[in-house]
């Protein structure tokens, strides 16, 4: 939270980020040679250090990166950055897009040593040279946070905890800036809060797995050797998540006109959170509470929302049932019932082997070329009897984990791959199919796509 305090107290006022006052001088040619020739023509026309070259050089760098010429991309970006600094000042915010592109280029080439160095530089820039009113600061902080999550998967194992902690710090800083600019009740805070919630879940998974990463995340501060117990850390993550969920609810509470549907959706996400921490009795109450409130709004919509299981945490927070249904109709990863049998079809795509419980975000999609293996599972999600759900003494069985998982297809039929996939499927948690707010038995067919480790 030190980053938040420094950002909030900063008095440095920077020049606003302006749009380049120039026409588009370089098209994004598919033909790299043509693009290089065009940049050379621009150099002859405007001079090698002209401000007009900055954007075309960045576009050329993107083409270099697409063709695997990462060193050439870096040199083009370095030139563009120097041109911007020479023309607009050493600490101008107009260099930010180029610095971000440098980080992405290093990451694409798996050069995480230089990526970390560049990430530290831009982190310092946000910390020391940015003010709360700086345009795009929230977006910049969240982008760097997401790049650190990518580093969890792709960088060396010894740097995973560093990336995790930085990702959390930057996400909290983005929230602090957003609260300062928009107030704490503004709906623009919702995706920032939900991103934080998901990061606490990922840390929970790491702590549950143990090992060096789990140990480092339990340290009170890095290298301190002052370590919380695993149970205390789990409690800390759980209550931080509940705090964030309460903050979401507070956004939709209005003394004159509260958003009842959005509050019921928060209750649904609270149930998911309880499920992920193994609190099934509490989750059952939250699911039923959410279902009843949503059913009062629209019985038809609520059946559509709860008719099939989902992998949790879901990727985004939706404050309406129509938002969920609209996403289901456009997102192939979301569950759908197979018309030919009773199975519900789901897909889980890892973002990398460095931290396989992290699903792949669309903005950091990896090439199918590095897909290591895939397996097709069938399994059951157990339900709960309605009579038992009404009993105060009933001990709810886990209804969020795969039971009797069976591999139907696998690319590499080795014992090691079978064991790895069977272990991975148990790491996933599911929101069950709900009828009248009560989990019901369901059969699921899941395609699990696994990626090879990128760094050894």
- pLDDT, tens digit, for every residue of 54-93? 999 999 999 999 888 999 999 999 999 999 999 999 999 9
Q: Which domain CATH number covers 110?
A: 1.25.40.10
Question: Do 446 and 400 form a contact (C-beta atoms < 8 A)?
Answer: no
Q: What is the DSSP letter of 360?
A: P
The shares of helix, strand and coil residues in the chain, as percent rounded to the nearest 5, are 60, 10, 30
Other CB atoms within a 10 A radius of the CB of residue 183 amount to 11
Q: Would 97 be classed as within a structural domain?
A: yes
Closest CA to 209 of 430, 421, 427, 400: 427
Q: Would 405 be classed as within a structural domain?
A: yes
Report the DSSP beta bridge partners of residue 442: 381
CA 17/CA 432 separation, integer angstroms: 46
Residue ending a domain, among 110, 132, 154, is 132
Give the burial string for 211-248 (b: 16+ CB within 10 Å, else e): eebbebbbbeeeeeeeeeeeeebbebbbebbeebbebb
CA 439/CA 152 separation, integer angstroms: 34
CA 266/CA 260 separation, integer angstroms: 10
Q: Would 300 be classed as within a structural domain?
A: no
Percentage of the chain exceeding pLDDT 90: 52
Q: Would 396 be classed as within a structural domain?
A: yes
Residue ending a domain, among 115, 132, 149, is 132
Q: Would 163 be classed as within a structural domain?
A: no
Q: Would 412 be classed as within a structural domain?
A: yes
Question: Do 148 and 163 form a contact (C-beta atoms < 8 A)?
Answer: yes
Q: Is residue 121 predicted with pLDDT exceeding 90?
A: yes
- pLDDT band of 287, cuts 50, 70, 90: very high
Q: Which residues contact 242 (CB under 8 A, 6 or more apart)?
A: 270, 273
Backbone angles phi, psi at 227, to 5 degrees: -120, 130
CA angle 221, 227, 230 (to 5 degrees): 120
- pLDDT, tens digit, for every residue of 317-366? 999 999 999 887 654 434 444 444 578 899 888 876 667 776 665 545 45
Alpha helices in 309-450 (DSSP H): 321-330, 386-389, 415-427
Residue-range definition of the domain harbouring residue 397: 310-451
Q: Would 207 be classed as within a structural domain?
A: no
- pLDDT, tens digit, for every residue of 381-416? 998 876 656 655 556 678 899 999 999 998 878 888
- pLDDT band of 144, cuts 50, 70, 90: very high
Percentage of the chain exceeding pLDDT 70: 82
Closest CA to 328 of 341, 340, 316: 316
pLDDT at 224: 79
Total number of domains constituting the chain: 2
Q: Would 434 be classed as within a structural domain?
A: yes
């Amino acid at each position: 939270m030190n980053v938040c305090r420094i950002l909030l107290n900063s008095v440095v006022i920077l020049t606003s980020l302006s749009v380049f006052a120039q026409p588009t001088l370089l098209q994004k040619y598919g033909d790299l040679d043509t693009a290089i020739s065009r940049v050379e023509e621009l150099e002859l026309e405007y001079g090698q250090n002209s401000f007009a070259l900055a954007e075309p050089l960045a576009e050329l760098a993107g083409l270099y990166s697409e063709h695997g010429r990462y060193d050439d991309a870096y040199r083009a970006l370095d030139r563009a950055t120097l041109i911007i600094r020479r023309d607009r000042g050493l600490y101008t915010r107009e260099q930010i897009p180029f610095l971000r592109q440098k980080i992405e280029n290093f990451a694409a080439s798996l050069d995480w040593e230089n990526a970390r160095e560049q990430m530290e530089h831009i982190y310092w820039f946000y910390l020391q040279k940015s003010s709360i009113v700086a345009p795009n600061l929230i977006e910049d902080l969240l982008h760097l946070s997401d790049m650190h999550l990518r580093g969890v998967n792709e960088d060396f194992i010894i740097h995973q905890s560093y990336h995790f902690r930085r990702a959390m710090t930057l996400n909290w800083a983005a929230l602090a800036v957003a609260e300062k600019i928009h107030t704490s009740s503004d709906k623009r805070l919702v995706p920032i809060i939900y991103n934080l919630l998901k990061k606490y879940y990922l840390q929970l998974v790491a702590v549950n797995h143990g090992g060096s990463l789990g140990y480092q995340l339990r340290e009170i501060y890095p290298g301190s050797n002052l370590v919380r117990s695993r149970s205390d850390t789990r409690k800390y993550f759980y209550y931080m998540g509940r705090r964030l969920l309460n903050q979401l609810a507070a956004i939709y509470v209005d003394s004159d006109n509260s958003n009842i549907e959005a509050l019921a959706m928060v209750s649904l996400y609270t149930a998911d959170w309880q499920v992920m921490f193994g609190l099934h009795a509490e989750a059952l109450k939250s699911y039923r509470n959410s279902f009843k409130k949503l059913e009062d709004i629209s019985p038809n919509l609520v059946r559509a929302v709860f008719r099939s299981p989902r992998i949790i945490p879901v990727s985004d927070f939706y404050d309406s049932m129509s938002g969920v249904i609209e996403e289901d109709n456009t997102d192939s990863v979301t569950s759908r019932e197979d018309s030919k049998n009773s199975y519900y079809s789901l897909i889980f795509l890892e973002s990398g082997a460095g931290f396989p419980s992290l699903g792949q975000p669309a903005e950091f999609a990896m090439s199918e070329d590095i897909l290591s293996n895939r397996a097709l599972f069938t399994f059951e999600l157990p339900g709960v009897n309605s009579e038992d759900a009404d009993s105060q003494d009933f001990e709810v069985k886990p209804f969020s984990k795969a039971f009797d998982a069976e591999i139907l297809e696998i690319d590499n039929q080795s014992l090691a791959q079978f064991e790895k996939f069977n272990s991975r499927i148990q790491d996933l948690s599911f929101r069950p199919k709900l009828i009248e707010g009560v989990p019901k038995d369901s059969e699921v067919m899941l395609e699990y796509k696994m990626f090879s480790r990128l760094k050894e």
